[in-house]
Amino acid sequence: MAAENREKSLLSRAFELVNRTFAQKKANDDNFVTLLSVAQDSPQIRLQLLSILRHTPFQRKSLINTWLEDLKLAGAPRELQNALSALLDEDVADRALLLLQESSS
């Protein structure tokens, strides 16, 4: 009986962890979609993102990390920071660059 309860407890905790992880990922995805939407509506933000995304991966990551530190110091919303953090992933950054270039033409 005690072993069965421990097993249920472990499964319950694992399930909660998976739910939190997926909820956080969905929130980050939503923030990223919002960032791209804002970039499509705001020429200034679109140009800033395009200028960063056109760099080599190393330079891009350095610029994004610098921007993130500036945002943290300025007390920018965590959602914005999370959305920009997604651009540290090369595949995400490449896709964002394509989307922003398509919306510019």
**Higher pLDDT residue, 8 or 47?**
47
End-to-end CA distance of the chain: 66
pLDDT given at position 70: 94
Please name the residues in contact with 53: beta carbons below 8 A apart, sequence gap of 6 or more: 60, 87, 93, 96, 97, 100
Q: Round to whole Å and give the CA distance between 11 and 68.
A: 36
pTM: 0.66
- Angle between helix 57-74 and helix 43-53 axes, rounded to 10 deg: 140
Q: Over 60: is that where the pLDDT of 105 sits?
A: yes
